[in-house]
Amino acid sequence: MSSTESQIAPSGAAAEITKVLAAEILRGEHEAGSPLRQASLAERFEVSRTPVREALHQLVALGLGTFQPHVGFHVRGISREEYLDAMVIRARLEGLAAERATKTVQSTQLAELTQIERELEQVSNQAASSATGHPLGARQKWSRANERFHDLLVRLANCPPLEAAHTMSVRAYPRDVTWLAVERYPSALEEYCNDHRGILDALRRSDPEAARVQACAHVERALDYLRLVFEVDGETHAVAPFAG
């Protein structure tokens, strides 16, 4: 570390650890204020302390942890409001991205987005035909493809500050937390697929207004489902109603 430049962008392992820890913190598996010890995390993830340290710094950057010299890293509690706020912001940013994308999207990119949409539909169809609920691995398959769909949509807008802001809003939480809603309301998957098709359709027609409305409404639908889940769980604090 002393003579060479140390890593700035998180390495693969660090990024993965960040993701896992962020998900755990948001699911409430770590108490606010509890310590995040480098040694035990290194042991748990079977890596050296370097990626762990990097991941912990990332958590601090995400607002999920705190760091003080000589004191170390601790979990910072994130409220449901903060979490929902991040999604409210995300809805607007994706609306803006979709609107701009109608002017910049290329046919190869549209084909890629269509391909991802088919993958998502497949997961949804399999889930619908399974009598025992969602088949194993569905969550992961859906989450990955869904992330790709949304990230690509934002990239299509060809606007670096928008991408940066979107990353900031989605990094605030692991997106597969939205799966909580899918587990309770299985029909949500089908609705999400419909939304995705609507966005694609607006892009194909180069209709900026429709693209904006559809993309925004899609994230807001997920947001509404999550509010419902949080309310049913009885863990919600008053969240201001939002004129969507």
Q: Are 158 and 100 in contact (CB under 8 A)?
A: yes
Task: Confirm or reject binding of residue 76 to other proteins (CB under 8 A).
Answer: no
Nearer CB in complex with other proteins: 3/107: 3
Confirm if 218 and 195 have CB atoms less than 8 A apart: yes
Residues 163-202 touching other proteins, rule: CB under 8 A, are: 164-165, 168-169, 172
Beta carbon of residue 202, minimum distance to other proteins (angstroms, whole number)? 18
Q: Which of 2, 50, 4 is nearest to 17 (CA)?
A: 50
Which position among 64, 93, 138, 170 is part of the footprint of other proteins (CB under 8 A)? Answer: 93
Q: Are 99 and 209 in contact (CB under 8 A)?
A: yes
CA-based end-to-end distance of the chain: 49
Minimum distance between the CB of residue 76 and other proteins, rounded to whole angstroms? Answer: 11
| 160 is an interface residue for other proteins by CB under 8 A | yes
CB nearer to other proteins: pick between 122 and 168: 168
- Residue 223 in the binding site for other proteins (CB under 8 A): no
* Count of residues in contact with other proteins, rule CB under 8 A: 35
86 binds other proteins (CB under 8 A): yes
The reply to whether 241 sits near other proteins by the rule CB under 8 A is yes
Interface residues with other proteins (CB under 8 A) are 1-2, 4-9, 11, 57, 61, 63, 69, 82, 85-86, 88-89, 92-93, 96, 100, 159-162, 164-165, 168-169, 172, 240-243
